[in-house]
């Protein structure tokens, strides 16, 4: 298995293998981590969880 997959709830968000699209999704993921809305749980940066702040942010909408 090669390439990048960004998935949530069984849905692959990176359906294209086009590098430009993958870079956009990777940047979005990195922004969520920098904003402390997600936290890395995998040893290689492959698993993330929503933080308490992430849930608070979603609930505020």
Segment 10-47, tens digit of pLDDT: 999 888 888 999 999 999 999 999 999 999 998 888 89
| Average pLDDT estimate for 35-60 | 95
User: Which H/E stretch holds residue 26?
Assistant: helix 19-34
- pLDDT, position 2: 62
Quote the CA–CA distance of 2 and 22 in Å, as a whole number.
Answer: 13
DSSP letter for 44, please.
Answer: T
Quote the CA–CA distance of 36 and 16 in Å, as a whole number.
Answer: 27
Dihedral, CA of residue 30, residue 32, residue 34 and residue 36, to nearest 10: -150
Q: Where are the domains of the chain?
A: 16-59
Closest CA to 4 of 21, 22, 20: 22
């Amino acid at each position: 298995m090669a390439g990048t997959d960004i998935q949530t709830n069984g849905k692959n968000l990176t359906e294209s293998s086009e590098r430009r699209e993958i870079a956009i999704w990777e940047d979005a993921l990195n922004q969520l981590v920098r904003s402390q809305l997600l936290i890395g749980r995998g040893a290689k940066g492959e698993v993330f969880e929503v933080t308490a702040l992430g849930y608070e942010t979603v609930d505020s909408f």
